[in-house]
């Protein structure tokens, strides 16, 4: 592998990063540097934590880092620019919008956890309510049975004139 000046390497890596995201094959044509060298430089940049979006066939499988890079790149774009960007990257506008929403919701404050005392109090209240429902169900069943018996008695012996 030939040795290239550090400045050239940094300039090429910068072109691989957002917002340019110049494809490796285009850089090969423009610079004459082998694609192996460029892929290695991109790999090194990625290992250093620099954002280098992937061009996987399935964007759903992209890493969170790459999705965030797309959101950052497209954040200030209007609809036409976003559509063109998505066509170029093989994405859908809805995917990018969903990723943007996910990123924006990522730092929402977490719901505070309930204490054990609160949980115990709620469990006791639930058990009390269940017990009351069982009691009322039994009373309702008893009333329904008495009504049925009264109807049967009236059917057998007839209406009582005193009623």
Residue 125 · residue 100 · CB < 8 Å: no
In this structure, which long-range contacts are made by residues 149-155, counting pairs with CB atoms below 8 Å and at least 24 apart in sequence? none
- The total number of structural domains in the chain stands at 2
Are 17 and 77 in a shared domain?
yes
Dist. CA 155–CA 48, nearest whole Å: 91
Are 100 and 130 in a shared domain?
no
Residue 66 falls within a domain, yes or no?
yes
The range of the structural domain enclosing residue 32 comes to 6-105
Are 122 and 151 in a shared domain?
yes
| pLDDT at residue 128 in the model | 96
Residue 65 falls within a domain, yes or no?
yes
Per-residue pLDDT of the chain (163 residues; tens, 9 = 90+): 677 888 888 888 888 876 677 888 888 898 888 888 888 888 887 777 666 555 545 677 777 877 888 888 888 889 998 888 888 777 889 988 998 888 888 877 766 666 777 888 899 999 999 999 999 999 999 999 999 999 999 988 887 666 5
Closest to 59 (Cα-Cα) out of 45, 70, 46: 70
| pLDDT at residue 53 in the model | 56
Dist. CA 17–CA 49, nearest whole Å: 12
Dist. CA 30–CA 22, nearest whole Å: 11
Tokens, residue 3: 């040795």
């Amino acid at each position: 592998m030939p040795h290239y000046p550090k400045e050239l390497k940094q300039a090429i890596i910068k072109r691989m990063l957002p917002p340019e995201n110049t494809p490796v094959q285009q850089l090969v044509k423009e610079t004459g540097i082998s694609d192996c060298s460029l892929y290695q430089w991109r790999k090194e940049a990625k290992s250093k934590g620099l954002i280098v979006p992937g061009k996987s066939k399935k964007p759903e499988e992209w890493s969170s880092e790459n999705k965030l890079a797309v959101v950052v790149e497209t954040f200030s774009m209007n609809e036409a620019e976003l559509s063109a960007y998505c066509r170029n990257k093989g994405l859908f506008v809805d995917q990018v919008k969903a990723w943007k929403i996910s990123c924006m919701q990522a730092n929402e404050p977490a719901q505070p956890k309930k204490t054990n005392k609160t949980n115990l109090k709620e469990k006791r209240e639930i058990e009390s309510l269940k017990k009351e429902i069982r009691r009322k169900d039994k009373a309702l069943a008893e009333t329904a049975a008495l009504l049925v018996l009264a109807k049967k008695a009236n059917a057998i012996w007839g209406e009582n004139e005193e009623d």
